[in-house]
């Protein structure tokens, strides 16, 4: 927020750490975001000197109440699809490092400031609207999941 006081709404580059949670059915946990009303997964910006995996675990816990066990790298996403303007006018260009987690514990507890709802969805029935800067990541996950033998 201190940097925003200096640069205003101009685009900033940010490294994101995200987690796609998968349950025993192969469904993913999505959250309805409070800021834009779109669906997405848990994630956020990596803080200075923070390890990316630690940031992913922290964001998951903060936003959902879940604790991640083993994390598997799903992919690293960047480019025009990861450019996003927030409702307040702030622009971000993300490099999103996305992990898949099938090993988690805890009770669902949405973070009231950021999350309106938490719900699991099957890969062939993702809700709309998906949050624009993470749409490609979720569709990649769904495609991979649907190709796996049942």
Residues acting as catalytic residues: 117
- Let me know: does 74 contact 99? Beta carbons within 8 Å: yes
**Tokens, residue 12:** 């900033």
Burial label for 91, CB within 10 Å (0-12, 13-18, 19+), is middle
Candidates 140, 69, 61, 50; CA nearest to 98 is 140
Contact 127, 30 (CB under 8 A): yes
**Which residues does 64 contact at the CB level (< 8 Å), separation at least 6?**
21, 29, 31, 42, 106, 108, 109, 110, 111, 115, 118
DSSP code string of 115-131 = EEEEEEE-TT---SSBP
């Amino acid at each position: 927020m201190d940097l925003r006081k200096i640069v205003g709404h101009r685009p900033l580059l940010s490294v994101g750490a995200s987690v796609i949670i998968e349950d025993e059915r192969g469904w993913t946990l999505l959250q309805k975001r409070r800021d834009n009303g779109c669906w997405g997964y848990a994630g956020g910006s990596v803080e200075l000197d923070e390890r990316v995996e630690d940031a992913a675990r922290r964001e998951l816990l903060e936003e959902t109440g879940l604790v991640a066990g083993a994390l598997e790298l799903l992919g690293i996403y960047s480019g025009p699809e990861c450019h996003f303007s927030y409702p307040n006018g702030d622009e971000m260009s993300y490099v999103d490092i996305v992990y898949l987690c099938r090993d988690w514990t805890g009770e669902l507890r949405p973070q009231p400031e950021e999350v309106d709802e938490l719900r699991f969805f099957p890969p062939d029935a993702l809700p709309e609207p998906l949050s624009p800067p993470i749409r490609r990541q979720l569709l990649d996950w769904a495609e991979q999941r649907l190709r796996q033998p049942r």
